[in-house]
Amino acid sequence: MAKNILKVPNVAGSLVRKVKFPEKFKGTIIEKWADYWKNLFIDYRQMLQDLRTDIQDDPVKAMKYTASIMALIGLYKNNPNEIDFRHELKRISNEVVMVSSECLNEKAADHLRYLDTCYNQGVIHYRSLGIASIMYTSELNDSCDLYKAHCSYVQPSYFSFPSRIVDVGLMGKWWNLYKKTTNYDVNL
């Protein structure tokens, strides 16, 4: 099978050379369009041949690049979204309600109350970064039409953004929510 894959660029290249364009289309936009695709095919064929020789020359480097690309694809596929966050928040909140107040970890309960308050006020937001996601808060609701919401002089600075991040989602899990609510039924 590997021999067949190695023969594909040569077979396809010979097909491109064998195909002749009819005389009535010479000098038209159709010929230019065909030349464009022919040159594009030749470029990609040459790129694949160069890639094959690079892999044969340094297989360790090729394996590192392949592993890195596969890891990034895996992170992208398992990137949690806001629905996952809300689902996990509701699940944990339902479990916390069943625990008595003597056993309840107050830090976990306070964090859950804070997140519920942020959702009720509409100041919590979601942003996907491709391989990771963040949940962050703002000072005002999106539908708020106060002067403070429009004035550029009272907007929060970029340096205050890290302090407004509530949670970071990576590998299918919201890590801050997990960390703060792991032992919700252990009163410390």
Per residue in 87-125, pLDDT (tens digit) is 999 999 898 888 888 888 888 888 899 999 988 888 888
Rounded to two decimals, what is the model's pTM? 0.66
Q: State residue 11's pLDDT score.
A: 58
Q: How far is CA 30 from CA 24, 33, 34, 35, 168, in A?
A: 10, 5, 6, 9, 52
Q: Would residue 76 count as lying in a domain? A: no
Q: Would residue 171 count as lying in a domain? A: yes
> Do residue 49 and residue 111 come from a single domain?
no
> Do residue 31 and residue 95 come from a single domain?
no
Q: Which of 40, 57, 74 is the last residue of a domain?
A: 57
Instruction: Please say if the pLDDT value at position 18 is more than 70.
Output: no
Q: Taking residues 130-147, what's their average pLDDT?
A: 79
Q: State residue 168's pLDDT score.
A: 92
Q: Which residue has the higher pLDDT, 1 or 92?
A: 92
Number of domains the chain contains: 2
- Locate the DSSP E strands across the chain: 124-128, 133-137, 165-170, 173-174
> Do residue 166 and residue 115 come from a single domain?
yes
Q: State residue 123's pLDDT score.
A: 86
Range of the domain at 132: 82-181
- Return the H-helix or E-strand segment holding 42: helix 29-57
Range name among 14-18, 89-93, 183-187 with the lowest pLDDT average = 14-18
Q: Would residue 140 count as lying in a domain? A: yes
Q: State residue 180's pLDDT score.
A: 87
Q: Is the dihedral of CA 184, 108, 81, 141 positive or negative?
A: positive
> Do residue 48 and residue 96 come from a single domain?
no
Q: Would residue 144 count as lying in a domain? A: yes
